[in-house]
Amino acid sequence: MLWIKAFHIIFVTSWFAGLFYVPRIFVNLAMVAPGSVAEHERLIGMAQRLMRFTTILAVPALGLGLWLLFGYEFWRAGGWVHAKLGLVAAVLAYHVSCYGLLQRLVQGRCTKSHRWFRYYNEVPVFLLMGIVILVTVKPF
C-alpha cells in the first residue's frame, strides 16, 4: 500500500500543479489587448495543452485514491475522511469549471476580468490546504 500511496501523492501533486497554472493563463488571457490575435492564440494553445495534461494526471490520482480508500476501509476511519472526500469533490468541480471557462475563452464568450481570475486562481490553494490538514492532522 505504501507504493500506491507514494504514486497517489505524485499524481495529486502533478494534478494540482496544473490546477494552479491553468487559471494563471486565464489571467494572462483576460489581460490580452484587443487585436493581439497571436498572443491570444498562443495563450489559448498553452491553456488547452495544459488542461489536457492536467486531466490526464487527475485520472491516476483519483484511481489510486480510490484504491487507498477501499484498501484502508475508509468507512472505519474518522469523519476526516468524509470531509476530505467532500474537498476532493470540490477539486473535481473546480477542474470541470476550469474546462468550462477555457471553452468560453476559446469561443470568445468569457467576460471575466483578470482580477476575477486572480481570485479564482487561489481556490485550489485553499482546497489543497484543507486536504493536507485533514489527512495529516485527522482532526475528527
Mean pLDDT (10-residue bins), the chain, 140 residues: 96 98 98 94 98 98 95 85 96 98 96 97 98 95
What pLDDT, on a 0 to 100 scale, did the predictor assign at position 73?
A: 84
Question: How is residue 6 written as a grid cell?
Answer: 507514494
Give every CB contact of residue 39 below 8 A, 6+ residues apart in sequence.
32, 33
What single letter denotes the amino acid at residue 104?
A: R
What pLDDT, on a 0 to 100 scale, did the predictor assign at position 106?
A: 96
Q: Which burial class, exposed, middle or buried, applies to 12 when counting CB atoms under 10 A from its CB (0-12, 13-18, 19+)?
A: buried
In this structure, the number of other CB atoms found within 10 A of the CB of residue 112 comes to 16
What pLDDT, on a 0 to 100 scale, did the predictor assign at position 75?
A: 77
Contact 47, 105 (CB under 8 A): yes
What pLDDT, on a 0 to 100 scale, did the predictor assign at position 78?
A: 86
